[in-house]
Amino acid sequence: MRLTINGKSHEVDVDPTTPLLWVIREQVGLTGTKYGCGIAQCGACTVHMNGLPVRSCSIPVSAASGAKITTIEGLASGKTLHKVQKAWIDHDVPQCGYCQSGMIMAVAALLRTNPKPSDADIDAAITNICRCGTFQQVREAIHAAAKAA
């Protein structure tokens, strides 16, 4: 099976029912995308599929074949960080950081479709779990990223 991840093509030999998450982590070897729950509850595994945020733990890899997949490792343009990553550093958002790959991917997708989200927009779109409780900084950083060009 052929997958396109972060602009690179990968040939993987897996059971087609394997969740995309585990193919990204174990076959492709990109471990920035995290396992948190396996049932699309927590969002730690969020990646972009054709530009839309998806919870990769609950998508069989067969459904991702042919799609353009972006993981946290592919969010920056070369050495230039994505504005969400920049805002995350400026606002010192992560605590343990384990959920933040998924959080950042979810926010980057939100800003693509809604460049200046209101608090209510953020509340509706960002449903990732963070057990450290970084939400106050997440909200600040989203607004900051939205203000950045």
Partner 1 sequence: MTAMPKFTRRSFLVSSAALGGGLALGLRLPPFGPGVVRAADGSPEITVWVAIRPDNTTLIRAVRAEMGQGTITGLGQLIAEELDCDWSKVEIEYPTPGQSVARKRAWGDFSTGGSRGVRQSNEYVRKGGAAARMMLVQAAANEWKVPASECTTSASVITHKPSGRRTTYGKVAEAAARLEQPKDVPLKDPKTWKIAGKPLKRLDTAKKVNGTMVYGMDLKMPGMLNAAIKDCPVFGGKVKSFDAARVSGMRGVKKVVQVGDSGVAVIADTWWNAKTALEQLPIVWDEGENAKVSSASIAEILKAGLDAEQAFVGNQAGGDVKTALADAAKRIEAVYAYPYQNHACMEPMNATVRYTPERCELWGPTQNGEGTFAQVLEASGLAADKVDVHNVMLGGGFGRRGTYPDDYVRQAVLIAKQMPGTPVKMIWSREEDMAHGKYHPVMQCKLVGGLDASGNLAALHMRLSGQSILASVRPEVVQAQKGRDPLSFQGVFESGEHSFSYTVPNLLIDHAMRNTHVPPGFWRGVNINQNALFIECFMDELAEAAGQDALEFRRKLMAKHPRNLGVLNAVAERIGWSRPAPSGVYRGLAHLHCFDSFVAAACEISVKDGNKVKVHRIVAATDPGYAVNPAQIERQVAGSFVYGLSALFFQECTVKDGRIEQTNFHQYNSMRIAQMPKVETILMPTGGTVWGGIGEPTICVAAPAVLNAFYRATGKRIRSVPLKNHGIELV
For the chain, strand residue ranges (E) read: 2-5, 8-11, 46-49, 52-55, 68-70
Question: Closer CB to partner 1, residue 97 or residue 144?
Answer: 97
Q: Give the separation between CA 77 and CA 92, rounded to whole angstroms.
A: 21
Contact between 129 and 42 under an 8 Å Cβ cutoff? The reply is yes
Q: Where does this chain touch partner 1 (CB under 8 A) — which range of 48-56, 62-70, 110-118, 135-143?
A: 135-143
Cβ neighbors of 144 (< 8 A, separation 6 or more) are 87, 90, 91
Region 66-95 residues binding partner 1, contact defined as CB under 8 A = 71-73, 75-76, 81, 85, 88-89, 92-95
User: Which of 2, 29, 80, 116 is close enough to bind partner 1 by CB under 8 A?
Assistant: 29
Binding residues (CB under 8 A) for partner 1: these are: 15, 18-19, 22, 25-27, 29-39, 41-42, 44, 71-73, 75-76, 81, 85, 88-89, 92-101, 104, 122-124, 126-139
